[in-house]
Amino acid sequence: MKYSHVLPKILGVKEVTRSRLFRIEGVDLEFSNGVKTTYERLAGGNGAVMVVPYDSEKKAFVFTREYCVGTEKYELGFVKGKIDAGETPLEAAERELGEEIGLGAEQFTLLRTLNFAPGFMGLKLHLVMAVNLSEHRLDSGDEPEAIEREYVPLDRIMSLLYDDDSDLCEARCITGVVLALKKLNLPL
């Protein structure tokens, strides 16, 4: 679908604040109707990857269980991390899979590139499926503690996707499962 909206003119961009992980920019805009305003956004980096590992021998997805400060509990999720300078999304996926849960894969496939929240950040997330898994431990990267692997067989996946009290509540993980099931030609 094509829109005829005229993009606002960017009058200026300045750093508002910075932390160890985030940089917030103020973007001065002028819209086609003459209205001027300032939006704030999280400045992007090289993007990030989330790896959806599928073990075809066990007929199971390989999740992680790690502490998430946003919810203040251990959550079920997938391997994820930033893309380093000069790295492709598939290279980052391979590195993160080895660093976080000690696995390698014969095949990495880009499922989809998403944006978290386009209203206030431009960060791209590349969902990558990994298949034909094997042990492949790399240095643990920047993790403060070991991340647990949790194999979830296909017969439990639907309850994780559809039950409100499921351990799987992160939207990008749910999206990754749905896209992987479609790619693997497995029923939803």
User: pTM of this prediction?
Assistant: 0.88
Which of these, 35, 34, 36, lies nearest to 26 by C-alpha position?
36
The one-letter code for the residue type at 183 is K
Q: Report whether 42 contacts 123 (CB < 8 A).
A: yes
Are 91 and 133 in the same domain? yes
Are 69 and 88 in the same domain? yes
Would 2 be classed as within a structural domain? no
Would 4 be classed as within a structural domain? no
Are 58 and 126 in the same domain? yes
Are 81 and 38 in the same domain? no
Q: What is the pLDDT of residues 41-52, one digit of tens each?
A: 998 788 999 999
Are 109 and 164 in the same domain? yes
Are 85 and 69 in the same domain? yes
Maximum average pLDDT range among 41-50, 75-84, 161-170: 75-84
Q: Report whether 150 contacts 114 (CB < 8 A).
A: no
- Neighbour tally for 133: CB within 10 Å: 20
Would 30 be classed as within a structural domain? yes
Would 79 be classed as within a structural domain? yes
Give me the domain span that covers residue 21: 9-42
The one-letter code for the residue type at 24 is I
Question: What's the rounded Cα separation, in Å, for the pair 61 and 55?
Answer: 6
What is the domain count for the chain? 2
Would 118 be classed as within a structural domain? yes
Q: What is the pLDDT of residues 28-75, one digit of tens each?
A: 999 999 999 999 999 878 899 999 999 999 999 999 998 989 989 999
- Neighbour tally for 79: CB within 10 Å: 26
Are 94 and 157 in the same domain? yes
